[in-house]
Structures are given as structure tokens and as C-alpha cells.
């Protein structure tokens, strides 16, 4: 009598070839590079075709120019559009936008770092959860709703003006609104109001990267610094802040770039002083000068490219 191992049915089952899916998965497992290509191929193709393709289209359009007589786009290589971009009025728009973006980024970092530091180092578990909720809560509402809400809040009849009037500081508010550059008829129609709304909208994008970087600072390093006689300010200066700097840089990328390209907030808040995003929207939609609009979009791209290269050379991304 044959044993169980010699049974024809058992031998047949053992001799079955592995399924196509098993062979495919085994092949991918044995070829890590092929697996990486399989996982990232479709997203990379999407990025190359849609994102980089759009940027390439903008770059090509920026070398065309608008015929002054016919009002039609001349699809011929020329630097005429960039000559128009380098006029004094356009350079003032670029300078105004870059200055606002820099102030928003610096102010957001100053406000976000103490909040993130307290959340990570001193807040209890319940308080930390509450702070995380308060930071993320604005992001759960519509961007447009938040902007128009601030327009009502900053209006001359809004709650801020009412509160200032109740505490007897109306004269101070009027003095600030009468200042050149930052003032205006009301907070909602002033550069100061534009700054407040920009700062409110983009602040969470600075807080969250700093929170993540501070969470990654090893507690053992802080303990070692204390054991070696390092004072809290010394530990913060030489350990905590350098290790959290990548988070500050990451947050600044968000706040700076988003402020550079935004056109909705300046169209709702402020004194209608042109910024890059609003100018691009105007040239593309109202004027129909697509080449000049495309050339304007190249400006923030170049600015961010220079910023990222400088940050990388300074080693700010080493800990990311």
C-alpha cells in the first residue's frame, strides 16, 4: 500500500505552477527598483504631464508677445514680454508682493514657534490635543468663507472697530489708519488688514511643520545638556532651535510661496494695490495678455527656486 506522500493527487497538487499573481509579486519583491517604478510610475507620470507640462507651457507662452495693433498673441520667440515685465510699475508690484510675503513669513514664524514649543514641551496630553484641534480647526472651513468673514470683521462697522470704540481707543485706530502705506479708510481696506488676513490664513501652515520638527528632537539630548550643566537658554540655542530649523524652513516655504501667488485675499481685502497673483489674474482674464501673465508667473517660480537652493546649501533640509 503506497504512502500518503506517493498519492497521485498529492503529487499533482505539489506540481502545480504558482499563480500569475504570485509570480508577479515575487518578481517585484526580487527587483526593488522595478517595484519602486511600479509604485511611483503613475504619480510621476501625472506630475510630469500635468504639473511640469503646465509649467513648460507657461514658460513657452512667456516668450510670445501681444501685438499692440491687433491685440492678438504673436506666437514668435521674443524677449519683448520680459522687457515689458521689467518696467518700473511691474517691478514695484513684485517688490510689494515679496515684501508682504517676507513679513508674513517672519511674523508667522515668530507667532508659531512659541505656540509649537509650548505644545510639545509643556502642554499636558489633554491640552496638547486641544491645541492641535484649535490649530487644525480653521483648515476645516472653506477658504473663501474665512476670507469674507474677515472682511466683515475688519469692516468699519465690524466687531474689531466696535471693541476698539468701547475701550476708548478709536483715536489710536484712526491714527494707524491714517499712516501712509499701511493705512486706509478701514481695516478691511488697508494693507494692515491684508497683512492680518494673510497671517491668519497661513499661520497653521507654519505651526504644523514646526510641531513636527520639535516632536523629533530627542529628549535624551535635552537631558544630556542639562546633565552637563547647560542652562535652558543654552540648550534651546544650541540644540532645540538648530534641530527645529528644518520645520521653520518648511513652514516658510508654505507661507512665502502661498502669499506670493495668492490673488483671492488681495481682491477681497486691502486697498486694491496690485500684487503678483492679482496682476496675473488681471492680465490673463481682463486684458487677455496671456504672454505677460505667463511671464509674471515665472517671477515667483524663480524666487522660490533661489530660496530653496539657498536653504539647501545652508543645510536646512538635512534633518527633514
Per-domain residue ranges of the chain: 4-52, 81-313
Q: What is the pLDDT of residue 35?
A: 74
Q: What is the pLDDT of residue 228?
A: 77
Mean pLDDT of the chain: 83
Lowest model confidence (mean pLDDT) among 6-15, 38-47, 78-87: 6-15
What are the pLDDT digits (tens) for 206-232? 999 999 888 888 877 777 877 777 787
Identify which has the larger pLDDT, 297 or 71. Answer: 297
Question: The dihedral of CA 250, 256, 262, 264: what is its sign?
Answer: positive
Statement: residue 188 has pLDDT above 60? yes
Cα-to-chain-centroid distance, residue 216: 21
Residue linked to cell 519602486: 36
CA separation for the pair 295, 280 (Å, rounded): 9
- Residue 1 DSSP class: -
Q: Which three cell numbers stand for residue 252?
A: 516658510
Identify which has the larger pLDDT, 79 or 19. Answer: 79
What are the pLDDT digits (tens) for 91-135? 999 999 999 999 999 999 999 999 999 998 888 889 999 999 999
Statement: residue 1 has pLDDT above 60? no
CA separation for the pair 81, 294 (Å, rounded): 9
**Selecting from 1.10.3720.10, 1.25.40.420, 3.30.420.40, 3.30.470.30, what CATH number does the domain 81-313 have?**
1.10.3720.10
- Residue 187 DSSP class: G
- Which of the four pLDDT bands, split at 50, 70 and 90, describes residue 183? confident
Q: Is the pTM of this model over 0.85?
A: no
What are the pLDDT digits (tens) for 17-72? 667 767 777 776 677 777 777 778 788 888 778 888 888 888 888 898 888 777 78
Q: What is the pLDDT of residue 18?
A: 64
Q: What is the pLDDT of residue 200?
A: 94
Q: Which three cell numbers stand for residue 290?
A: 496671456
DSSP per-residue string spanning 86-128: TSHHHHHHHHHHHHHHHHHHHHHHHHHHHHHHHHHHT--HHHH
CA separation for the pair 97, 84 (Å, rounded): 18
Amino acid at each position: 500500500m503506497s504512502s500518503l506522500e506517493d498519492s497521485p493527487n498529492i503529487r499533482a497538487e505539489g506540481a502545480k505552477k504558482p499563480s500569475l499573481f504570485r509570480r508577479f509579486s515575487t518578481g517585484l519583491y526580487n527587483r526593488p527598483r522595478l517595484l519602486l517604478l511600479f509604485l511611483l510610475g503613475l504619480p510621476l507620470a501625472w506630475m510630469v504631464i500635468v504639473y511640469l507640462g503646465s509649467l513648460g507651457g507657461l514658460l513657452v507662452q512667456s516668450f510670445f508677445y501681444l501685438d499692440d495693433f491687433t491685440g492678438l498673441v504673436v506666437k514668435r520667440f521674443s524677449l519683448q514680454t520680459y522687457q515689458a515685465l521689467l518696467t518700473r510699475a511691474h517691478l514695484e508690484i513684485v517688490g510689494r508682493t515679496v515684501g508682504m510675503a517676507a513679513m508674513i513669513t517672519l511674523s508667522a514664524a515668530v507667532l508659531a514657534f512659541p505656540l509649537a514649543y509650548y505644545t510639545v514641551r509643556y502642554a499636558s496630553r489633554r491640552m496638547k490635543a486641544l491645541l492641535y484641534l484649535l490649530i487644525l480647526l480653521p483648515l476645516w472651513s472653506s477658504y473663501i468663507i474665512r476670507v469674507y468673514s474677515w472682511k466683515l470683521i475688519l469692516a468699519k462697522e465690524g466687531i474689531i472697530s466696535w471693541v476698539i470704540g468701547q475701550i476708548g481707543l478709536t483715536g489710536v485706530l484712526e491714527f494707524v489708519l491714517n499712516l501712509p502705506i499701511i493705512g486706509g479708510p478701514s481695516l478691511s481696506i488697508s494693507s494692515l488688514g491684508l497683512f492680518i488676513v494673510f497671517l491668519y490664513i497661513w499661520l497653521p501652515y507654519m505651526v504644523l511643520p514646526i510641531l513636527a520638527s520639535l516632536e523629533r528632537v530627542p529628549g535624551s539630548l535635552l537631558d544630556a545638556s542639562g546633565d552637563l550643566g547647560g542652562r535652558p537658554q543654552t540648550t534651546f540655542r544650541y540644540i532645540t532651535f538648530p534641530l527645529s530649523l528644518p520645520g521653520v524652513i518648511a513652514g516658510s516655504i508654505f507661507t512665502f510661496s502661498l502669499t506670493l501667488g495668492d490673488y483671492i485675499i488681495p481682491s477681497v481685502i486691502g486697498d486694491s494695490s496690485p500684487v503678483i497673483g492679482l496682476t496675473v489674474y488681471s492680465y490673463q482674464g481682463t486684458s487677455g495678455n496671456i504672454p505677460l501673465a505667463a511671464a509674471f508667473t515665472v517671477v515667483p517660480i524663480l524666487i522660490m527656486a533661489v530660496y530653496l537652493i539657498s536653504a539647501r546649501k545652508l543645510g536646512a533640509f538635512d534633518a527633514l
